[in-house]
Amino acid sequence: MDREVFDTALGYSKEYCLLSNDAIHVATMKRYGITNIATNDPDFERVGGIKVWKP
């Protein structure tokens, strides 16, 4: 993780009320153009622009 991902994650944490580790996942996804995540964590459903797949 670098400063850019950290700063982006901080913004997502505040904007979407995410825990820090979830916000880091989202910031990393956005950086690399990843739009899908497989998780049972419903918090990711609040984030626009990503598709949540329930395993």
The whole-number pLDDT of residue 15 equals 97
Average pLDDT per 10 consecutive residues for the chain, totaling 55 residues:
96 97 98 98 96 96
DSSP label at residue 46: G
Q: Give the gyration radius of the chain's Cα atoms.
A: 10
Name, in order, each residue with C-beta under 8 angstroms of 47's C-beta and a sequence gap of 6 or more.
12, 16, 18, 26
The predicted pLDDT at position 36 comes to: 98
Distance (Å, whole) CA 49 – CA 53: 13
pTM (two decimals): 0.91
